[in-house]
Amino acid sequence: MKPLGIVLVALGVIALIYGGIGYNKNTTVLDLGGIKATATEHKTLPIAPVVGVALLIGGVALLVSKRAA
């Protein structure tokens, strides 16, 4: 269980630092025969700080529990 605890702590810290996942979305704006115009939109999928804290607490609990040893 210790590797799972380490992974959860790492994911919790990353979620708290970054606060979201960014990605790019390509959208076709204009399509006339052989002419095609596209636009790239930058979007962010937010992650609530509660999720990061929950992951962090769960990971620490797994690391300090006696059963995980």
pLDDT single digits (tens) 30-58 = 999 889 999 999 998 888 889 999 999 99
Q: How many structural domains compose the chain?
A: 1
**DSSP H stretches of helix in the chain:** 2-18, 49-64
Task: Specify if 69 maps to a domain.
Answer: no
Residue partners of 9: CB distance under 8 A and separation at least 6 = 55, 56, 59, 60, 63
Task: Specify if 20 maps to a domain.
Answer: yes
Query: What is the overall mean pLDDT for the chain?
Result: 88
Task: Specify if 25 maps to a domain.
Answer: yes
pLDDT at 67: 66
Looking at residues 20-32, what average pLDDT do you find?
91
pLDDT at 66: 73
pTM over 0.75: no
Domain of residue 17 covers 2-64
Tell me the sheet residues that pair with 46. Answer: 20
